[in-house]
Chain A
Amino acid sequence: MAQTLRDQLPASGSGGRGWVPPGTHPDPRPPDEADVVVVGGGVVGWSVAYWLKVLEGWRRRHGMKVLVVERDPMYSRASTVLSAGGIRQQFSLRENIQMSRFSASFLRDINKYLGVPNEPPIDIQFQPSGYLFLASPQNAAALEATVKVQRDEGAQVTLLSPTQLKEKFPWMNTEDVAVASYGLEDEGWFDPWTLLNAFRRKAISLGVQSCSGEVRAFVTSANHMLPSAPPSARIRYAHVYMPDSLEYQPVACAIVVNAAGAWAGKLLEAEGLPRGLCQPPLPIQPRKRYVFTWHCPNGPGLSCPFVIDTSGAYFRRDGSAGNYLGGMSPPKEEEPDASDLSVDHGYFQEQVWPRLARRVPAFESLRVRGSWAGYYDYNTFDQNGVLGPHPRLENLFLAAGFSGHGLQHAPAAGRAVAELVVKGRYETLDLRRLGWDRLVAGEPLQEHGVV
């Protein structure tokens, strides 16, 4: 009978909040005001929110009001959860290597950073199998030069000759390989969904608020000024639109962080931002990339690293039962249409499989299990992240455009932006070269290791 009586009561809301009146919207509404609005609830956005609270110090519970706005609580198109989840230090740009090393040490001690008391410990299922870059004779010198830079920065990378490769990985066909670089430590892959949830759980326990909605418009101080072009403007309100509705909440904010990933460029074209101040436009576009999974019983074993072939195709082991996943970034002329996430299965049959089968003879017989597509937040200018304050909009910070490395750089990028906000300058990693100035001056910082 007690059960019957209990069933009569309306289902209570989440334990912390207590009773909510029936008929209220289940997702939390955006507040009227927040000190920092982080647009985008992917791993970079939650990382920024987490580090903001951590760097605030002992006052965190009652300090800044940080609001993370995510328009898709199911994360159906977010790059974070559709990522292959790799982390490597094998980049050619020093800042990228430093960011990855920071993230690797962060992930090593993840329970120290993101552990919440009385909650189960976090297991990101890190597979430390390393990355293996294969270089053809034309690219051998460049690879050796980048390995030298990586070693300078402290990454544990070694160069392997074809004979050493054959010895280490007998399943590989080493024709056309002049030299290979193999990461020995802090490289591999992990579960991005766990990392995202860990950041979210810890940030919420530190007092970060989140709401679902889409930021489609801003109100800046330039709206009140005379039409003569102001040199700079402040964002005063961010209009957060409710899902599937025309209702919006103007959130008064002191700082806006653009962590919108693939749509970071589109956010800066939002209504209300003065056109003259948003030049040059942020060159970040969504680029669709396919990932295919297959089963091959006789394939490479547990020692299989994340292999990037001379042709650009890549694959890695997925679990221990003979499953693999991989893909290839298409050349610029053949970019797939990024308006939806449908997969072109012919791409695997025609482009990826032949290359992989040439490199790993065992892959000649395989069974495709599935596939998905995700977006790279592709920086068309120089394929590197843009971090730091906007030159003209005073209180807008950017953390986007990582072109496929967003997940592995998320802890470092989050900490960098948080240091800018709380301390006023970069302290742990000096990432000034990744700022907006290079876009304005037109000087690309090329990264040669974009997979």
Chain B
Amino acid sequence: MLKIIIPTTMLLPLTLLSPPKHMWTNITLHSFLIASISLQWLTPTYYPNKGLTPWTSIDQISSPLLVLSCWLLPLMFMASQNHLEQEPTTRKRIFTSTIILAQTSILLAFSASELMLFYIAFEATLIPTLILITRWGSQPERLNAGIYLLFYTLASSLPLLIAILHLQNQIGTLYLPMLKLSHPTLNNSWSGLIASLALLLAFMVKAPLYGLHLWLPKAHVEAPIAGSMLLAALLLKLGGYGIMRITILVNPPSNNLHYPFITLALWGALMTSAICLRQIDLKSLIAYSSVSHMGLVVAATMIQTQWAFSGAMILMISHGLTSSMLFCLANTNYERTHSRILLLTRGLQPLLPLMATWWLLANLTNMALPPTTNLMAELTIVIALFNWSSLTIILTGTAILLTASYTLYMLMMTQRGTLPSHITSIQNSSTREHLLMALHMIPMMLLILKPELISGVPM
């Protein structure tokens, strides 16, 4: 673990002290090196946890998410290069430092083996994200978006803090391997119910669950591209990961508590997919599609079966890569036309045919086309839910149908249709953008060949 955390932390002096000419090269190269080292976490092991220490541990749920966050760091840097070009060097350094601070907190959060450390890292990711949105977003609405993000997350995580401290008092330890062995139970009383609600709510807001998702479209739309990638690919997964960790602690009140969550999650997947069909703003469409996919993740983690956890893990990783790629594509459009409105950035296939290929691939993975891992995930979750209750197939089936329809709508609107009258010649796609899309797509393609790596089954 240290061989990843220390280099990531040392990226900070690297960005602050690099000569301006080499700053981007240094940062991107070194974070790629860290990403390649992080792949060693995916190797199989007999031990339940790799690298076990009193503070960090890596097991089959955290390793795919850790590799994803290490992989996305260089991609975030590459995506931000264009819109930061005009800024003075100091501001570029501060931007990259903010992302690196967020990255260290996320690495700590995913690898934490103690609940308190997990909570601290979970909260710590909030501050760099807030800075990214409110300082580098481009519309006046970003202040509103920052407030929504901050207060939704804080308000839901304070009860989490209280519940964790209470658990520490009761059980005596918050060390995850100990908790796995001792299986503490809560009382089946009102206080137990409130305690489990407190434990779950913060992650429900983060995931997000349908009724608590209002911060997400605002934050995703107003954030700069690196902020959007960070939010969509990593921070949402903190919610899913947190639910997976917490569920061992919330028995038996969760026997009754899971009903409203599963209902809201499945209904939300359907509703947000329908909302996507009505969106005018491209980034807002992609944000709502994130809510839809994460709704399936939340529903799966609440039923707590082996297949459901496995499906949720695969969906989190594939959605992280797909959603991040869609945001990068939307950003390439935005940088050229300065508009996110679908009406004004449409019919781009004749103008940018190579980028159209990436659009096609990203949209195909988004609507869970076989043989991508998105399909494996959605099928696993749908089957697990069907096993739990036959009626869920109606909701999940409709959600999948609507997902395919809004994805095709997005593809047709942005690529085909009437040629825009105000875009006759457009700046060509640069190699950096193609590299960005390729580096998103290659892991997705490779994982089709060996999905056990991300499926959360002990290897």
List residues of A (249-278) whose CB comes within 8 Å of B's CBs: 252-255
Other-chain residue from B139, B280, B345, B421 in contact with A420 (beta carbon distance below 8 A):
B421
On whether the beta carbons of B421 and A35 are closer than 8 Å, the reply is no
- Decide: B138 and A33 in contact? CB cutoff 8 A: yes
**Residues from 233 to 253 in A contacting B, C-beta threshold 8 Å:** 236, 252-253
Per-position 1/0 for B267-282, Cβ under 8 A of A: 0000000000010110
Segment from B56-64, B114-122, B146-154, B334-342 that makes contact with A: B334-342
A-B contact count (CB 8 A): 66
Quick one: closest A residue to B420, CB to CB? A424
A253 vs B339: C-alpha distance when bound (angstroms): 7
Interface pair B338/A31, CB less than 8 Å apart: no
Contact B423 A395 (CB under 8 A): yes
| Interface residue? B356 (CB, 8 A) | no
The yes or no answer to B418 lying at the interface (CB within 8 A) is yes
Residue of B nearest to A33 (CB): B138
Q: Per-position contact with B for A387-406: 1 when CB-CB < 8 Å, else 0?
A: 00100001101000000000
- Which residues of chain B are within 8 angstroms of A232 by Cβ–Cβ distance? 424-425
Interface membership of chain A positions 406-442, coded 1 if the CB is closer than 8 angstroms to chain B and 0 otherwise: 0000000000000011111100000000000000000
Min CB distance B259 to A, Å, is: 34
Identity of the chain B residue whose Cβ is nearest the Cβ of A420 in the assembled complex: B421
Cα distance, A214 to B233, chains bound together (Å): 42
Interface residues of B in 122-179 (CB under 8 A from A): 138-140
Which residues of chain B are within 8 angstroms of A310 by Cβ–Cβ distance?
none
Contact A253-B338, Cβ < 8 Å, known A35-B344, A422-B343: yes
Q: Does A220 contact B (CB under 8 A)?
A: no
For the complex, is B427 an interface residue (Cβ under 8 Å from A)?
yes
Among candidates B338, B343, B419, B427, residue contacting A56 with C-beta atoms closer than 8 Å? B343
Q: B22 at the A/B interface (Cβ < 8 Å)?
A: no
Residues of A within 8 A of B3 (CB): none
Which among B341, B422, B427 has the highest number of chain A CB atoms within 10 Å?
A: B422
- Chain A residue, CB-CB nearest to B346: A424
- Asked whether, in the complex, the Cβ of B424 is within 8 Å of the Cβ of A424, the reply is no
A64 x B422 contact (CB < 8 A): no
Nearest A residue to B424 via CB reads A394
Chain B residue with Cβ nearest A388: B421
Q: How far is the CB of A228 from chain B (nearest CB, A)?
A: 15
Q: Which of A32, A221, A424 has the most CB of B within 10 A?
A: A424
**Given A32-B138, A59-B280, also A389-B338 (CB < 8 A):** no
Residues A394 and B425 in contact in the complex (CB < 8 Å), given A32-B139, A35-B339, A253-B338: yes
By secondary structure, the A interface counts as mixed
- CB under 8 Å from chain A, chain B span 407-434: 418-425, 427
By a CB distance below 8 angstroms, the chain A residues around B341 are: 35, 63-64, 254
| A424-B347 Cα distance, complex, nearest whole Å | 11
Query: Cβ of B418: which chain A residues have Cβ within 8 Å of it?
Result: 423-425
Residue of B345, B418, B421 with most chain A CB atoms under a 10 A cut-off: B421
Confirm or deny: A231 has a beta carbon within 8 angstroms of a beta carbon on chain B. Answer: yes
Q: Known A231-B425, A254-B339; judge A62-B420 contact (CB<8 A).
A: no
A33/B139 in contact, CB under 8 A: yes
Find the B residue at minimum CB distance from A55. Answer: B343
Complex CA–CA separation, A232 to B425 (angstroms): 7
Shortest Cβ distance from B220 into chain A, in angstroms? 15
Q: How far is the CA of A253 from the CA of B341 in the complex (A)?
A: 12
Give the CA-CA distance A204 to B129 in the complex, in Å: 34
**Would you call A254 and B343 a contact (CB within 8 A)?**
no
- Selected from A31, A221, A394, the residue in CB contact (under 8 A) with B422 is A394
| Residues of chain A with a CB closer than 8 A to B139's CB | 31-33
Q: How far is the CA of A363 from the CA of B311 in the complex (A)?
A: 92
In the complex, are the beta carbons of B280 and A254 less than 8 A apart? Answer: no
Q: Which residues of A contact B280 (CB under 8 A)?
A: 56, 59, 62-64
Interchain CB contact under 8 A, B425 and A254: no
10 A-B pairs with C-beta separation under 8 A: A62-B281, A64-B344, A231-B425, A252-B338, A254-B341, A254-B422, A394-B422, A394-B424, A395-B337, A422-B343
Extra contacts, 19 of them, besides A56-B280, A221-B427 (Cβ < 8 A), are A32-B138, A33-B138, A35-B341, A64-B339, A64-B341, A64-B343, A64-B344, A236-B338, A254-B344, A254-B345, A389-B421, A394-B424, A395-B337, A395-B422, A395-B423, A420-B421, A421-B344, A421-B422, A422-B343
State the 10 A-B residue pairs at the shortest beta-carbon distance, nearest first.
A254-B339, A424-B418, A395-B422, A59-B280, A35-B339, A63-B280, A254-B338, A252-B338, A254-B337, A424-B421
User: Which residues in B have some Cβ–Cβ distance to A below 8 Å?
Assistant: 138-140, 278, 280-281, 337-339, 341, 343-345, 418-425, 427
